[in-house]
Amino acid sequence: MKRIILLLCLPAIAWAKVPLQERDSLLSLLGQWRGTMEYIDHGSGTMQQQPLQLTVSSTNDQTTLIVHREFIDPAMPVDTLTIRTLAQPAQVAYVRNGRMKSFESRTTVMQVLNPNSWILVQEHSDVESNRPITIRHTLRRSGDRLTNTKEIDFKDDKRALWQLRYRSAYQRINADSELEKPAPFMLAPQRRGDAETLLPVL
């Protein structure tokens, strides 16, 4: 079983400036989640699914959120689940194959109906194939269900499109409702600025 450790670190002073409603939304993720990641294999072009599990905890002072993500298949490539604090910018670090990487991430959208029903969009910069990219993660919480969608956009191409990398759907373990399955992949990427409208969480 493959394990990833994601540390969401923020100084206590900065964390104290985060609106209480937003802070409560992130802390509502504490516990265990089980689900499936759906992605397109670059070699075969076919859709693949991998079962996985999350364990979300925090430090005693609740200034750092720690996410353990475990894949059942040990050969599964490592991608980091991104659930971040809401300071501007958030300080994020994760461990991948024993190597740590850190970056800053900004919240671009936050819709909160209540601590258990919200939408969070985070973006940060990176490099892929020697090209600068923007990585966007969209998290949607609705009761005992949570989804995470990862997309990328190449910055050096004015006609760049948002390209879907994966979508994961989770359900809190021991919840009574059925596990939400990922929606079918949107194979056609989106143009920059033409992202899917974020509807309020039900």
Query: Using 50, 70 and 90 to split pLDDT, how confident is the model at 197?
Result: very low
Between 100 and 18, the higher pLDDT residue: 100
pLDDT(15) > 80: no
Tell me what the mean pLDDT of segment 173-198 comes to: 53
What torsion do the CA atoms of 108, 123, 22, 84 make, to the nearest 10 degrees?
Answer: 180
Cα-only R_g, the chain: 16
Query: Using 50, 70 and 90 to split pLDDT, how confident is the model at 11?
Result: very low
Sorted by sequence, the CB contacts under 8 Å of residue 201 that are 6+ apart come out as: 111, 113, 117, 118, 119, 140, 141, 142
Between 159 and 49, the higher pLDDT residue: 49
Domains of the chain: 2-191 (2.40.128.20)
Tell me what the mean pLDDT of segment 126-150 comes to: 93
Residue 190 is predicted with a pLDDT of 54
pLDDT(189) > 90: no
Helix (H) or strand (E) holding 25: helix 20-27
